[in-house]
Amino acid sequence: MEKILNRFLRYVSVDTQSNEESQTQPSAAKEWDLLKMLRDELVSMGVETSLDEYGYVMASLPSNLEREVPAVGFIAHVDTAPDASGKDVKPQIIEKYEGGAIDLKGVPGLQLKPEEFPEMLHYVGQTLITTDGTTLLGADDKAGVAEIMTAVQYMVEHPEFKHGPVKIGFTPDEEIGRGVVKFDVKRFGAQYAYTMDGGEIGELEFENFNAASAKIHIQGRNVHPGSAKGKMRNAILIGQEFNAMLPVEQRPEYTEGYEGFFHLISFKGSVEEADFTYIIRDHDHARFEQKKKLIGFVASFLNTKYGEGTILLDVKDQYYNMREQVEPHYHIIEKAVKAMEMADIKPKIQPIRGGTDGANLSFKGLPCPNIFAGGLNFHGKMEFVPLQSMEKATEVVLNIVSLFAE
């Protein structure tokens, strides 16, 4: 078998950064490079595989049991986040990590420090894969891709390993919230599935945020500052006023656990006009609706103050908390817990402070909790993944398959 490290390094060498400004699917043509690679690798293993026009790789391993058991699926996304470059990734491999700071040698003076990221100390003695400080790493979610592919290879090469029908899915564009918009659950053919897209080892999640985006356009009025009294409306300052009317304690930097937030993710403009964007998040649906109502009230108030048409607000729901879809099938959570315990991993059931393809899949009729892929510090240059966590994740996949075959 190809070692999971080599497989992972091959995958992160392919630039698959998705593009939120694009209207195509996949959103970036370069995502096809890895999608086609995965299709070809699966075909070369003798696995029935397809790659459709929307960039979905779907593969199926037939059951080798004499009785019927539910088909279980495993899903990961190939794209990396727009937050940092995924081009020319140069991983660093730190064997037998000793617990100190790690130089990210692509940027002089930049270090991955346990004083800033104390979770590093959980992995003393292990092999850490880091960035060189110039790009993200891509463990989100190429670690998940590598783990699933390694498990598939194991099943193919070990026919004595008993399993029911196993379904594999690789998707584009998860990082921009469009990963499974056109995913055909019926064609995929699984009754239950797991996304391998979580963080640190042991994470198991079946609750996520309810999510919406809010785009605001502010129409100001630019007048020469020498004669601006009573005439000028500065769109930048109105934008600052808008932001100041939202509760400060409900910003991401002040929240944790089940606490939701308003997150200002972009702002650009001039005196004449400005545009800015929020993401709105909350686990509780009632509080989620209250947050959307509040941002609408702020827009209405400022339109009353400065004149109708000053604020144009567009709020769109993105995804919902999958708990209500997964909880009626709690046995799939119990299987994941047992699979981790079989691998000597202590499960950490917690809510996702984010989203996952599994949320939208669950609302499409495919209950789909999320399991750790092993990486930490996603979406940035401080990203790293312990090799042993990836190996354990592969073991968990195989354990789940075994449990469904019982």
CA distances (Å), 383 to each of 69, 115, 131, 311, 355, in order?
38, 15, 7, 38, 18
First-to-last C-alpha distance (Å) of the chain: 26
318-357 burial: b if 16+ Cβ within 10 Å, else e: bbbbbbebbeebeebbebbebbbeebebebeebebbbbbb
Distance CA 25, CA 205 (A): 27
Is 174 part of the annotated catalytic residue set? Answer: yes
Catalytic residue among 31, 173, 174, 205: 174
Report which of 398, 59, 369 is spatially closest to residue 192, judged by C-alpha positions: 369
Q: What is the DSSP letter of 74?
A: E
Element (H, E) at 245: none
**Residue 270's CB: how many other CB atoms inside 10 A?**
11
* Distant-in-sequence, close-in-space partners of 381: CB < 8 Å, separation ≥ 6: 84, 104, 107, 110, 131, 133, 134, 135, 136
Taking the C-alpha atoms of residue 173 and residue 204, their distance in angstroms, rounded to an integer, is 22
Rounded to whole angstroms, the Cα distance separating 311 from 299 reads 6
- DSSP conformation class of 240: H
C-alpha 114/C-alpha 296 separation (Å) is: 42
Q: Take residue 219 and report the two structure tokens written for it.
A: 């129409």
The one catalytic residue among 79, 197, 203, 383 = 79
Catalytic residue IDs: 79, 174
